[in-house]
């Protein structure tokens, strides 16, 4: 039997649906409501999921990634909520879990010198950087730029009068910018991704804030996949 050609089948990423269901998170919208760049990132998440061990842990944390010689593991607690109370718990759990998967993607795609302890960095680090000073310098230069971009995101949000950005969403965003700024060497791509997911789930893709965060994420994604590896060198307009 052939199907009528006008029938619409919503595109769903089943591995992501199963994951957020398990974590008592909210499901993402159908693909036709998802921005193209975000859809590309969600495709990368779908590809990464089979290589990750997921484990429930009643520790109150929405998600945590663990890197070991056995491969990446992500633990999550389906009862976790954001401590400040500014996030809708189900949306927060989905966004937080996807954030952790982005740490794994970063660990797999960013190049780094073959030494221990550099798990999950979200910048390329010159493979030839042989000592701690050279590695530290490379990380410092790049995280200063990420930091400046977070600063601009704060200014964009303050200037953004979009009604869809409720007081709680604004507080959540502010809290997450602060979280990213505290550790920009591991919390850039992951936080940007999480915020694109969170804003999409709240129907806020048309806001200047979303567009700015999207432009940062587009830059990070291109850099992450670039070969030869290149560093982040410019603050984003």
Residue with smaller CB distance to Zn ion, 84 or 166: 84
Q: How many residues bind Zn ion (CB under 5 A)?
A: 1
* Torsion, CA 225, CA 177, CA 183, CA 135, rounded to 10: 40
Give least dist CB 96 to Zn ion, A: 8
Rounded Cα–Cα distance for residues 106 and 111 (Å)? 9
Q: Which two tokens stand for residue 43?
A: 């495709």
Q: Which residue is nearest to Zn ion, using beta carbons?
A: 190
Q: Do the bridges between strand 73-76 and strand 53-56 make them parallel or antiparallel, or are there none, so unpaired?
A: parallel
Give least dist CB 9 to Zn ion, A: 34
Give least dist CB 76 to Zn ion, A: 12
Instruction: Report the Cα 39 to chain-centroid distance in Å.
Output: 13
The angle that helices 36-48 and 89-109 make with each other, rounded to 10 degrees, is 70
Residues 6+ apart with CB under 8 A from 97: 19, 20, 23, 25, 62, 63, 74, 76
Give least dist CB 11 to Zn ion, A: 28
Stretch that binds Zn ion, among 176-184, 186-194, 198-206, 218-226 (CB under 5 A): 186-194
Count of CB atoms situated within 10 Å of the CB of 137: 14
Residue with smaller CB distance to Zn ion, 121 or 214: 121
Residue with smaller CB distance to Zn ion, 142 or 207: 142
Residues 187-206 that bind Zn ion (CB under 5 A): 190
Taking alpha carbons only, the member of 26, 165, 20, 170 closest to residue 86 is 170
Stretch that binds Zn ion, among 107-115, 182-190, 200-208, 227-235 (CB under 5 A): 182-190
Residue with smaller CB distance to Zn ion, 190 or 200: 190
Residue with smaller CB distance to Zn ion, 101 or 165: 101
DSSP SS3 for 53: strand
Give least dist CB 179 to Zn ion, A: 8
Site residues, Zn ion (CB under 5 A): 190
């Amino acid at each position: 039997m052939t199907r009528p050609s006008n029938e619409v089948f919503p595109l769903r990423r089943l591995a992501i649906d199963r994951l957020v269901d398990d974590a008592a998170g909210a499901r993402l919208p159908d693909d036709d409501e998802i921005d193209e760049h975000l859809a590309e990132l969600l495709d990368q998440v779908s590809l990464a999921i089979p290589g990750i061990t997921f484990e429930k842990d009643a520790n109150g944390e929405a998600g945590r990634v663990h890197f070991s010689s056995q491969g990446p593991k992500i633990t999550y607690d389906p009862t976790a909520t954001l401590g400040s109370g500014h996030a809708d718990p189900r949306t927060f759990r989905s966004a937080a879990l996807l954030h952790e998967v982005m740490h794994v993607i970063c660990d797999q795609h960013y190049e780094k010198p073959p030494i221990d302890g550099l798990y999950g960095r979200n910048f390329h680090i010159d493979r030839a950087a042989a000592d701690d000073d050279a590695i530290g310098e490379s990380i410092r230069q790049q995280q200063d730029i990420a930091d400046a971009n977070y600063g601009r995101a704060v200014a964009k949000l303050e200037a953004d009068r979009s009604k869809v950005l409720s007081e709680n969403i604004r507080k959540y965003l502010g809290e997450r910018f602060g979280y990213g700024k505290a550790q920009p060497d591991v919390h850039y791509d992951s936080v940007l991704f999480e915020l694109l997911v969170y804003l999409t789930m709240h129907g806020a893709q048309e806001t200047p804030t979303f567009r700015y965060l999207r432009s940062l994420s587009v830059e990070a994604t291109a850099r992450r996949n670039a070969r030869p590896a290149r560093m982040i060198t410019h603050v984003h307009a």
